[in-house]
Amino acid sequence: MRPKLMNEYDMKHLIDPTDLTVAETDGVLALAEEIIANRAKFADACRGRKLATLFYEPSTRTRLSFTSAMLELGGTVLGFSDAGSSSVSKGETVADTVRVVRCFADIIAMRHFKEGAPLICFRTHDISRIIPEKCSCGSSYPRIDMIRGRSDDMFKVRGVNMFPSQIEDLLQNVDGVASEYTITLAHDDEKNRDIMILTVEAEGRVSFETTALKIKELFKSRIGVTPKVTVVPIKTLPRSEKKTKRVTDYRET
């Protein structure tokens, strides 16, 4: 019985070789042997894909082996071999670098002088999913979907997980509603239930009462929670020069 090839597994982060099971390790080796024996077959396996090499310390063999492998499979390579030539020299953190680079690359190969740095890269909290279907370009390899949100932005109301990106997508479908909104979470001790208050801005041409009802209906049908909705005129909510804080949770106090 042949080992299961690695491309037949769901994609996963690889931080340490011991993250792989024995069967998965056999699958990697089996796939490598098949690539060596059938170079032409795999010449376009990564066409249209990008590998980012983030090398925070000097490396020749490791960096070039990743680069050579990606080029052999038809992909392209970007990144840096000297952290001093990147925004790291201006104080950018590993996590911030990864959040930017992952927007341009399908996979990241990192080498860092600090133990555990790749783990920080892994825990950037971005939420996505693996697309199992075959790509329209013909590639059968798993793909990564667009980032839906961040797990550290997630909040839970009545057992339902929600993300600001979900709220923003929902509000875009309501006529007259602007992009500014705030969410206030509290707990009603008397009724022993969580309360969610959504405040949104809307243009004066629409009925605030009708708009609030529309938002409630969309929340109930798409998310499964019905908030209390307050609609206010545009420029009512405070603005911030930095990242706007959308959610205030009084349940934590």
- Give me the DSSP letters along 64-102: HHHHHHHHHTT-EEEEES-GGGSGGGGT--HHHHHHHHT
- Give the model's pLDDT for residue 111: 83
Collect all residues with Cβ–Cβ distance below 8 Å to 74 and sequence separation of at least 6: 43, 44, 45, 46, 47
- pLDDT for residue 3: 45
Residue 66 CB contacts under 8 Å (≥ 6 apart), including other chains: 51, 53, 77, 109
- Which pLDDT score is estimated for 185? 92
- Say if CB 133 and CB 90 are below 8 A apart: no
For residue 46, the Cα-to-chain-centroid distance in whole angstroms is 21
**Which residues have a Cβ under 8 Å from the Cβ of 221 and sit 6 or more positions away?**
none
Handedness of CA 117, 123, 127, 128 (dihedral sign): positive
> In the structure encoding, which two tokens stand for residue 88, read together?
């790291």
- What are the pLDDT tens digits along the chain (253 aa)? 344 444 444 455 676 777 777 888 888 888 889 889 988 988 888 888 889 888 888 888 888 999 999 999 899 999 888 877 777 777 777 777 777 787 788 888 888 777 666 665 555 555 566 677 777 877 777 666 665 555 556 778 888 878 777 888 889 889 999 988 999 999 888 888 889 999 999 999 999 999 999 999 999 888 888 999 999 999 999 875 555 678 888 886 5
The Cα–Cα gap between 231 and 203 comes to: 10
pLDDT at position 20: 75
pLDDT for residue 246: 83
Domains parsed from the chain with CATH numbers: 43-148 (3.40.50.1370), 154-252 (3.30.300.30)
Q: What is the pLDDT of residue 207?
A: 95
Q: Quote the CA–CA distance of 252 and 187 in Å, as a whole number.
A: 10
pLDDT of residue 202: 94
Which pLDDT score is estimated for 151? Answer: 54
0.75 surpassed by pTM:
no
Query: What pLDDT score was predicted for residue 243?
Result: 54
